[in-house]
Amino acid sequence: MSISRRATPADAEELVRLRKVMADSVAGPNPDLSWQPAAVATLRDRLGDPAGSLTAYVVDRPAAGPGAGPAGLAACAVGTIEYRLGSPGNPEGTCGYVFSVATDEDMRRQGHSRACLEGLLGWFRERGVRRIDLRASPEGEPLYTSLGFVRTPDPAMRLRL
């Protein structure tokens, strides 16, 4: 059984590394690493605020040998809380969003992503967030479905400024 923990600012570099693992598995390898220093700095700052609206849950990679500490991260799930106008189905207007769910290829199928997501869902519950959205890859959809996520009719659109 995998055990997740809440990420700390010290995990920022590994979280960004795993984000690239996730992005490369969805869109194919991309050699551009120019975004990583800014992402690490942002994560260090945001993870340093325990009452903040962003967190991550991680599973440590097992130690390389007896007495050795963890050898980085094996998996992660990142989430944020957004605040919108209330509505009939969501009077408080809070909405959770899950992203950057990633597991190193050699650590997959061991329950690590599930453990990270369960930790993250608990964090949302503690903060009173009852609506949580995500975008699922075909590989991730069975896990999300098993946790109670369902497809919605809402089409996603994006504008880049």
Q: What is the pLDDT of residue 125?
A: 96
For the chain, domain boundaries: 5-146
The torsion defined by the Cα of 108, 111, 113 and 116, in degrees rounded to 10, comes to: -150
Q: What is the pLDDT of residue 61?
A: 93
- Do residues 102 and 138 make contact, with C-beta atoms less than 8 angstroms apart? no
pLDDT per position as a tens digit, 3-16? 999 999 999 999 99
pLDDT per position as a tens digit, 103-123? 999 999 999 999 999 999 999
Query: What pTM was computed for the model?
Result: 0.92
Put the strands of the sheet holding 5-6 in their side by side order.
Answer: 5-6, 54-60, 73-83, 94-103, 132-134
- Average confidence (pLDDT) over 130-137: 92
* Alpha carbon distance 152, 53 (integer Å): 24
Q: Is the dihedral of CA 62, 64, 65, 67 positive or negative?
A: negative
The residue with greater pLDDT, 79 or 153, is: 79
User: What is the CATH topology of the domain spanning 5-146?
Assistant: Aminopeptidase (3.40.630)
Closest CA to 102 of 63, 125, 133, 75: 75
The letter for the amino acid at 56 is: A
Strand 94-103 to 132-134 pairing: parallel
pLDDT per position as a tens digit, 21-72? 999 988 999 999 999 999 999 999 999 998 999 999 999 998 766 665 567 9
Residue pointed to by tokens 């991309």: 30
Q: What is the pLDDT of residue 2?
A: 85
Largest CA distance in the chain: 55
Contacts of 82 (CB under 8 A, 6+ apart): 53, 94, 95, 96, 97
